[in-house]
Amino acid sequence: MSRITKRAPGRASSRQSAPGAALPFARAGVVGPRLQALINSTNVAARIAGDPIELPHRYRDPLDIEVAALLSAALAYGRVDLFKPRLAALLKSLGAAPGAVARDRSSKQLLALCRGFSYRMTGPAEVAALLAGAGRLAREHGTLGAAFARMFQSAGEPTIRGALGLFVDALTTNDSGPTSRRLKHLLPHPARGSACKRLNLFLRWMVRGPDGVDFGLWRDIPAAALVIPLDTHVHRIAGLVGLTSRTDLSWRTAEEITSRLRALDPIDPVRFDFSLSHLGISGSCPSRRDESKCVGCPLRSICKHWS
């Protein structure tokens, strides 16, 4: 049974507003109930076990959760069965308090701790640089959430786009020369048009909830300002149900889908993301008319293959 719920009352007043624009969405009354049915049918416990968010859920201290979540989201590219074991080993090498390690260790010490890590385009240098950047923010602001809240206020934009750019700048600023190509891959910048799926995933984890999936740690950021973490699964299924007709995996497409989701839930538009992405990740959506797989799909009546 799903625990992905609508936002609970009593949150900070900034959470009650809807800062991003909602696109006119004539099908909202039809699509909204079907997406809610998809949420209701999602086996959250089973899906979390195969999701990188399971790793930060192993911690209790907010800074440990933030640093474990930043690593887990940034490295969540490719196949989960390939990157998750390497992430788990990396976190193990950082000990029980990865937040304190990032905050208190030198860049050289962080590099030594990460020396066994390797996953596709990412090696020890990039992971250590990410930890060093997180450590700098923790030393300056206490938590990554406090740093991001200041950036959100400073950017003064209705969505998190501007603040995310400032966050990436702060994480990648270092004394040892220009940011490497590999670190740019790990931390893409929204100003370059990337959908920044993994960073928007990290923000969803930190800002939404708590609801059994997302942590709800960053209470000063309105969930309404989030942008959907756009991966190939969400993009494909969003196209099937009429949330977008755009064909590129870009920031603009992520904004368009989020704007339509705001027409369904102006306070918490990305609460649909976990169920949409796992419909794709689980292999349950064939993206074609297939009676054997589509028979129980809650989206069938709004899917372009059937309607």
Where on the chain is the footprint of ligand SF4 (CB under 6 A)? Answer: 237, 240, 284-287, 293-294, 297, 299-300, 303, 305-306
Query: Nearer Cβ to ligand SF4, position 58 or 304?
Result: 304
Query: Nearer Cβ to ligand SF4, position 104 or 290?
Result: 290
Contact 83, 52 (CB under 8 A): yes
Distance CA 196, CA 265 (A): 22
Contact 28, 261 (CB under 8 A): no
CB of 235 to ligand SF4, least distance (A): 13
Mapping DSSP onto H, E and C, the string for 13-67 reads HHHHCCCCCCCCCCCHHHHHHHHHHHHHHCCHHHHHHCCHHHCHHHCCCHHHHHH
CB of 244 to ligand SF4, least distance (A): 14
Distance CA 91, CA 74 (A): 13
Query: Nearer Cβ to ligand SF4, position 77 or 274?
Result: 274
CB of 290 to ligand SF4, least distance (A): 6
Local structure of residue 269 (DSSP, 8 states): G
Contact 167, 188 (CB under 8 A): no
Contact 153, 221 (CB under 8 A): no
> What DSSP string describes 183-229?
HHHHS--GGGTB--HHHHHHHHHHHS--SSSS----TTS-GGG----
Distance CA 65, CA 102 (A): 12
CB of 297 to ligand SF4, least distance (A): 3
Distance CA 129, CA 124 (A): 8
Query: Nearer Cβ to ligand SF4, position 91 or 299?
Result: 299
**Residue 305: what are its φ and ψ, rounded to 5°?**
-75, -15
Query: Nearer Cβ to ligand SF4, position 57 or 300?
Result: 300
Which tokens in the block code for residue 277? 């992405």
**Residue 122: what are its φ and ψ, rounded to 5°?**
-120, 130
Q: 111, 77, 101, 122: which is closest to 231 by C-alpha?
A: 77
CB of 302 to ligand SF4, least distance (A): 8
CB of 242 to ligand SF4, least distance (A): 11
Query: Nearer Cβ to ligand SF4, position 186 or 297?
Result: 297
CB of 75 to ligand SF4, least distance (A): 28
CB of 234 to ligand SF4, least distance (A): 12
Query: Nearer Cβ to ligand SF4, position 78 or 286?
Result: 286
Query: Nearer Cβ to ligand SF4, position 174 or 282?
Result: 282
